[in-house]
Amino acid sequence: MILTPIAKAIAEAAKAPATMEYPEHKESLTDNYRGIEKLDIETCISCGACARICPNQTITMVDTETSRGTKQMPQINLERCLFCALCEEVCPTKCLVLTKDYDFEKYDRREFVKRPEELK
C-alpha cells in the first residue's frame, strides 16, 4: 500500500522536465498567431490610418528621418497592444504587418515603446 505512491513519485522524478529551455527551444506557433509588428519604412506613406483605427490608442505618429526626408511614422507601445491586427488590415500599402515574434521579456517598461526604426 505504501509502495504504490513511492513508485509513482520515482516514476515522475525520472521523467524529462515539462518546461522548454527558452530561448534555445521555442514552441511551434499556429498559422494565425499574431506577434510583434513589423514596419517597412520605405513603403509607409504616413497616412496615419493605423493610429486612427487602433482601439487601444497604442499607435502614435512620430517624426522619423527617412531617405526621402522627415515623415510621420507609427510608434507602437507593445505594452498596450491587443494584437487585434486592425492596423494591418487598414494599412493601404501593407507596410505594417504582425509577425510571429513573441520576445516580450524586458527589464524596463520603456523598452516596450518601439520607434519606427526599431520595428524592422
Over residues 43-102, the pLDDT tens digits come to: 999 999 999 999 999 999 999 888 888 889 999 999 999 999 999 999 999 999 999 887
Which grid cell is 57? 490608442
3 within domain boundaries: no
Number of domains in the chain: 1
| Cβ atoms of 73 and 40 closer than 8 Å | no
9 within domain boundaries: no
CATH of the domain at 62: 3.30.70.3270
Sheet holding 69-77, edge to edge: 59-66, 69-77, 113-114
Domain containing 33 equals 20-118
| pLDDT exceeds 70 at position 23 | no
| Residue among 29, 110, 38 nearest 74 (CA) | 38
5 within domain boundaries: no
